[in-house]
Amino acid sequence: MMRTLWSLTLVILTIGGRVCAQPLMDDFLGGLDPQNRWSWVVAGNAPANTLDSTRVSFTAEHLQITAQAGALYQSVNNLRNLPSVSVPALRGAWVIEARVRLTRNGSSGGYLQAGLVVFRDADHYFNLHLVYLPDQSYQLSVSGGHEWNGVYQWAGLSGVVWSPSAGDTARLMIRYEPDTGLARFYYDREDGAHWRECTGSPRPLSDFPALQTVAQLGGQVGLYVDLGGGGGSPAPVASFDYLTILSDYHPADVTCDGIVDDADLLQVLFHFGAQRCNHPADITRDGIVDDADLLQVLFHFGAR
């Protein structure tokens, strides 16, 4: 099912006939994909390395994190178990998407949440998450928040409220539209209605400085679970099914690492003479990797 959804996303988000040859995708098939260079480090958090391996496990298809005390909220900055991937500046109609199941178990007294977090460090982040609402009998919804220079604010984004008995899973999506300069925030509670846009969406990126900074300069995209001030036993468990990041890179950025450099030059040289439709090193899209593609890399060397 996930691979079908992934294929549909690729079709929808093809930009100008080109999608980066290697968009980031991790299905958590028994572990973290080492090609994505996952990290557990969050600058400004204590501890900086957030991994507590006793609370992290994998099934054949899921990353599971058992919640424990700790948060990024304002000056607290002691969250545990936040895996993230490093991303360069995001280009074109970029998308960040994940699927999470959040089982409350014995937790009470707080806004238990789990989902996506986009950050530079512990004091500069944006999150979009599935959340249990203690003031509404622990019904579920989707919400978000952002923090800049250690000051946290609600993001003004919300979803419908539903009973966990109707499903405790949601897909979450952040999508940027370069034509309008707006970011849109979606969720799918998998009840047959498919993607819903959050109330309060769309918004200019400038409303969320941390999200804007990562989009423009690069940063980290991660997954987290936070007790939100609550507690109880047994502890809640967040199960993540996949993480997808799509970004349309510079045409001469063959390796899709955010910069036109020696690696792209080598790719053109290694595949020089190759004739194939949509070859990643065929920058000019004329069906052959040749001098014209080499010149594109040289002319744009250093571009991001």
Q: Which fold has domain 2-246?
A: Jelly Rolls (2.60.120)
Is residue 28 left, alpha or beta, with left meaning phi > 0 and alpha meaning psi from -120 to 50? left
pLDDT of residue 286: 83
pLDDT of residue 172: 98
Where do the H-state alpha helices sit in the chain? 2-12, 209-217, 262-270, 291-299
What's this model's pTM, rounded to 2 decimal places?
Answer: 0.81
Stretches in the chain below the pLDDT threshold 50: 1-22
pLDDT of residue 117: 98
Maximum Cα–Cα distance across the chain: 65
42 Cβ contact list (under 8 Å, min separation 6):
48, 50, 72, 79, 82, 84, 119, 121, 122, 220, 222
Identity of the amino acid at 75: S
CA distance 267 to 209: 35
User: What are the sequence ranges of the domains in the chain?
Assistant: 2-246, 262-299
Q: Which residues of 29-47 are buried (b: 16+ CB within 10 A; e: fewer)?
A: eeebbeebebbbebeebee
Q: Which residue has the tokens 């065929």?
A: 282
Contact 208, 128 (CB under 8 A): no
pLDDT tens for 186-225 read 999 999 999 999 999 999 999 999 999 999 999 999 999 9
pLDDT of residue 277: 66
